[in-house]
């Protein structure tokens, strides 16, 4: 377990240097179009304000690749946050001027540094700590509340925690680690994982790690066709990784050896036009005609997935079971999410992790319908794989 801001003593008048993930989408007028990530850090900001700390936020926006690029400025985010909080969030355009600005902050006041990825040293792979030492001058202690960037071994997410102490998690980071850890390490059984997405190759680590932990493993989305082909089925023009056929067989064998129930689609919705405007029909998953590709779980599969989910006590979803971005191919993913919502109402613990699953959950449901919706795509994926996240490892242990 890592220390959190709740483990700190008296911080009144001290300056918290806080790494947050407010990499939010902006519309063409540079207005914030989705503030989910900003809302997620408010408990940490409010806690620090209530305790009388001064707050200096570090964050990134997009990928400016170590160059100053107005397209990726955080100025509009500072403006949005000022409006949201009803008080000015002081924007600091350059780290060089930051010390002077920080000196003028009052207790409970918040400042936001310009995009930390404007500086080449932020993403540098070397062990040079110059930039970390420069940033460390801006605070009395370090807080990482950026779970979405915790898998990055960058200066503001990992190196800084080694030079500025204490180094603790914020409330969002603490919640992410607690919810994901409890689901993976101490689940109420039966424990079911839904793993979807296009490629087996990107989810091998996830599948391998989950087979050691779950009772049921639902495999959906594009990766299912690699399993079907590995077993001699006809998949038409469906997405498939021919170099992963043996991996698919090995995963099936491991599941059988461990007594894990592997639940695959038996029927699918196929199309001869990915835009959805061609011929769409249901067929058996191993009898997809040439010229057609699988794009969603079929009606029987949806029911089979839902039956397993409704009998589960812990559910982890990582990846959709169809090309849900197109409304014509979204019913399978909707059915899975609706079953998870129902199971949650009946007392199950549900955790949604991974970028596409989170997008689908937001699109078709409310975040409050689930026990926890992770704010980190790549980070939650690596955590579920059992990898060590540099931004978490660098924090102080309890």
Q: Which residues are catalytic?
A: 37, 199, 355, 378
Sign of CA dihedral 117, 118, 123, 127: negative
CA gap 240, 286 in Å, rounded: 13
Q: Which residues of the chain form beta strands (DSSP E)?
A: 15-19, 54-58, 90-92, 110-113, 141-144, 167-169, 191-195, 216-219, 234-235, 261-264, 267-271, 280-284, 287-288, 293-297, 314-318, 349-352, 372-373
**Range 255-266 burial, b when 16+ CB lie within 10 A, else e:** beeeebebbbbe
| Helix, strand counts (H, E) of the chain | 15, 17
Q: How far is CA 9 from the centre of its chain?
A: 31
> Could you give the 3-state DSSP secondary structure of residue 126?
coil
Sign of CA dihedral 123, 125, 127, 128: negative
Alpha-carbon dihedral angle through residues 214, 248, 254, 183, given to the nearest 10 degrees: -20
Cβ-based neighbours of 4, under 8 Å, separated by 6 or more: 168, 169, 170, 171, 173, 174
Q: Are strands 280-284 and 267-271 parallel, antiparallel or unpaired?
A: antiparallel
**Range 304-322 burial, b when 16+ CB lie within 10 A, else e:** bbbebbeebbbbbbbbbbb
What are phi and psi for residue 19, nearest 5 degrees? -85, 120
Sign of CA dihedral 240, 243, 245, 248: negative
CA gap 378, 154 in Å, rounded: 15
Contact 168, 4 (CB under 8 A): yes
First to last CA, the chain: 6
Using alpha carbons, select from 221, 212, 213 the residue that is nearest to residue 241: 221
């Amino acid at each position: 377990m890592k220390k959190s801001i709740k483990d700190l003593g008296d911080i009144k008048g001290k300056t918290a240097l806080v790494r947050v993930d407010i990499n939010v989408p902006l519309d063409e007028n540079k207005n914030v179009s989705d503030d989910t990530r900003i809302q997620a850090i408010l408990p940490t900001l409010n806690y620090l304000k209530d305790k009388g700390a001064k707050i200096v936020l570090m964050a990134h926006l997009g990928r400016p690749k170590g160059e100053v690029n107005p397209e990726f400025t955080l100025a509009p985010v500072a403006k949005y946050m000022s409006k949201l909080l009803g008080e000015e969030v002081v924007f600091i355009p350059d780290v060089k001027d930051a010390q002077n600005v920080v000196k003028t902050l009052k207790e409970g006041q918040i400042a936001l540094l310009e995009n930390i990825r404007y500086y080449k040293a932020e993403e540098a792979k070397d062990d040079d700590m110059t930039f970390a030492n420069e940033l460390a001058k801006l605070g009395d202690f370090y807080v990482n509340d950026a779970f979405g960037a915790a898998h990055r071994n960058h200066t503001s997410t990992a190196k800084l925690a080694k030079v500025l102490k204490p180094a603790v998690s914020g409330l969002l980071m603490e919640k992410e680690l607690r919810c994901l850890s409890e689901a993976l390490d101490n689940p109420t059984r039966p424990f079911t994982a839904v793993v979807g997405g296009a490629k087996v190759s990107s989810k091998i680590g996830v599948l391998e790690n989950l087979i050691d932990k779950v009772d049921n493993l639902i495999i959906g989305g594009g990766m299912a066709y690699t399993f079907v082909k590995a077993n001699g089925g006809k998949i038409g023009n469906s997405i498939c990784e021919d170099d992963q056929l043996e991996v698919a067989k090995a995963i099936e064998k491991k599941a059988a050896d461990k007594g894990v129930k592997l639940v695959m689609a038996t029927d699918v919705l196929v199309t001869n036009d990915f835009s959805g405007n061609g011929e769409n029909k249901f067929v058996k998953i191993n009898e997809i005609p040439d010229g057609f590709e699988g794009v969603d779980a079929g009606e029987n599969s949806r029911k089979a997935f839902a039956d397993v989910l409704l009998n589960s006590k812990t559910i982890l979803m990582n990846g959709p079971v169809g090309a849900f971005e197109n409304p014509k191919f979204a019913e399978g993913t909707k059915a899975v999410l609706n079953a998870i919502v129902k199971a949650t109402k009946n007392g199950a613990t549900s955790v949604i992790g991974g970028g596409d699953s989170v997008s689908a959950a937001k699109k078709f449901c409310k975040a409050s319908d689930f026990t926890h919706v992770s704010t980190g795509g790549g980070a939650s994926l690596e955590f579920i794989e059992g990898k060590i996240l540099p931004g978490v490892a660098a924090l102080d242990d309890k």
